[in-house]
Amino acid sequence: MKDFFMLIGFSEILLVIFMQWEVYVTKIVKTFSVSSYLIALFLFYLSFIQHSYIVLVLAILTAVIRGFFIPYFILKRLSRDPWRERESTPITGTASSIIISLMIGIFTYVLYEATMSSFVTISLGALPIALIFQGAFLVISRRSAFIQLVGYMVMENAAFLFTGYLFPDLPFSVEAGTVLDLIGIVMISGVIMRMRENSAKKSDDFDELRG
Domain ranges within the chain, ordered by starting residue: 2-205
Please determine, for residue 2, whether its predicted confidence score (pLDDT) is greater than 80: no
Q: How far apart are CA 166 and CA 139, in angstroms?
A: 26
CB–CB of 133/96 below 8 Å? Answer: no
- Tens of pLDDT, residues 35-74: 999 999 998 998 888 887 877 888 888 898 889 988 988 8
Looking at the chain, the whole-number percentage of residues with pLDDT higher than 90 is: 9
Mapped onto helix, strand or coil, the DSSP state of residue 59 is helix
Angle, nearest 10°, between helix axes 2-21 and 94-115? 150
Q: What is the pLDDT of residues 100-110, one digit of tens each?
A: 888 888 888 88
Q: Which residues are 86's β-sheet partners?
A: 24
> pLDDT-based confidence at 28, cuts 50/70/90?
very high
Q: Which of 19, 13, 190, 191 is nearest to 94 (CA)?
A: 19
Residue 192 and residue 153: Cα distance in Å, rounded? 17
Across 26-35, average pLDDT: 93
